[in-house]
Chain A
Amino acid sequence: MIQLTINGQPQYFNNPLNLQQLLEHMLLQNKRIAVELNGEIIPRSQFTEQTLSNGDQLEIVVAVGGG
């Protein structure tokens, strides 16, 4: 089992997964998002090859209304 911290919340997964699989699990695939993994931005083109490990910290952001 691995633990990921996503937007500050701990999430648990039974099997290792890559970033693309995580986003599909979260129904965020093909959404307008940007992802930071342990402080580094991961370009969209690398989602599939980016494996996730126990303890990884992810931030997933979107555009919202603001002034």
Chain B
Amino acid sequence: MDDFIVAGKHYSSRLLVGTGKYKDFNETSAAIEASGAQIITIAIRRTNIGQSPNEPNLLDVLPPSRYTLLPNTAGCYSADEAIRTLRLARELLDGHSLVKLEVLGDPRTLFPNVVETIKAAEILVKENFQVMVYTSDDPIIAKQLEEIGCVAIMPLASLIGSGMGILNPWNLQIIIDNTKIPVLVDAGVGTASDATIAMELGCDGVLMNTAIAAAQNPILMASAMRKAVESGREAYLAGRMARKPYSASPSSPIEGTLPAQSQ
């Protein structure tokens, strides 16, 4: 079996999905079902005071018994905020320790602040969190995050929610080649081929939210993404043919072709 293994746990799916931006909980759960994802990200927010007590809770729709929930620190702009959020998440999820750390640096681009990310990662690892970390596609920062003890490195392919695809496959390739723990593209995927390209590069998985939630038909796109990730993984394992830009080679035999007819 070609399992995805993170923090010692095996998963058959290499597609991780977010739960934001859906129309309602029905669409959320149908899209996640269609994606085949087993690890899903959630956010931690203040509860609405005075909300109807019967308002459904995300955890009722996506029970921790069925999915591995990955609480994130989206919206945090400092190490302190991120750490505080994940401590609350651990209490909320009964001691669950697998988390997604992201510390943002700029509200316009949502580019990660890698200095604060490293600070937060150091503390969280000491507190026995298993940290899957969102970062830039800088191979040196990726290496440092691995050395700190993160369990997965998750570089952006392009900006969060941009759908711009994989803008710098060469940096991703360097990170993949230099990293012993799983590397996942997190952010930037726009359509199925982007996910396939990430997997063909040798990524261990892909994490996405907007590419599915903002599609015209999110459930169909979730299914497309499942196949795209599987397809890219198989192509990576199969090993692609060498690129031969100036030496064409016919697929059919040359011998036995009919001679040119004389007029």
Name A residues whose Cβ lies closer than 8 Å to a Cβ of B: 6-9, 11, 26-28, 31-36, 41, 43-44, 59-67
| A61 in complex: contacting residue of B47, B58, B69, B160, CB < 8 Å | B47
> Contact between B44 and A32 (Cβ–Cβ < 8 Å)?
no
Q: Of the 9-residue stretches B87-95, B113-121, B175-183, B231-239, which lies at the interface with chain A?
A: B87-95
> Contact between A67 and B41 (Cβ–Cβ < 8 Å)?
yes
> Contact between B71 and A63 (Cβ–Cβ < 8 Å)?
yes
User: Could you tell me the distance between the alpha carbons of A32 and B87 in the complex, rounded to whole angstroms?
Assistant: 15
User: Could you tell me the distance between the alpha carbons of A62 and B87 in the complex, rounded to whole angstroms?
Assistant: 13
Q: A65-B19, A65-B22 are in contact. Are A28 and B47 (CB under 8 A)?
A: yes
Scan residues 3-44 of chain B and give those whose CB is less than 8 A from a CB of chain A.
18-22, 28, 41-44
Question: Closest chain B residue to A66 by CB distance?
Answer: B43
Question: Closest chain A residue to B74 by CB distance?
Answer: A66
Interface residues on B, range: 35 or more
Name B residues whose Cβ lies closer than 8 Å to a Cβ of A: 18-22, 28, 41-47, 49-50, 53, 57-60, 69, 71-72, 74, 84, 87-89, 91-93, 160-161, 207-210, 213
User: Could you tell me the distance between the alpha carbons of A34 and B96 in the complex, rounded to whole angstroms?
Assistant: 13
| B-side contacts of A64, CB under 8 Å | 20, 42-45, 58
> Contact between B20 and A67 (Cβ–Cβ < 8 Å)?
yes
> Contact between A31 and B57 (Cβ–Cβ < 8 Å)?
yes
> Contact between B20 and A66 (Cβ–Cβ < 8 Å)?
yes
> Contact between B59 and A60 (Cβ–Cβ < 8 Å)?
no
Chain A nearest CB from B123 CB (Å) reads 15
| A-side contacts of B18, CB under 8 Å | 65-67
| B42 in complex: contacting residue of A31, A33, A65, CB < 8 Å | A65
Q: A32-B92, A61-B88 are in contact. Are A26 and B49 (CB under 8 A)?
A: yes
> Contact between A67 and B45 (Cβ–Cβ < 8 Å)?
no
| B-side contacts of A63, CB under 8 Å | 42-44, 57-59, 69, 71, 89, 92-93
| B-side contacts of A66, CB under 8 Å | 18-20, 41-43, 72, 74, 209
User: Could you tell me the distance between the alpha carbons of A35 and B74 in the complex, rounded to whole angstroms?
Assistant: 19
Residue among B21, B49, B207 with most chain A CB within 10 A: B49
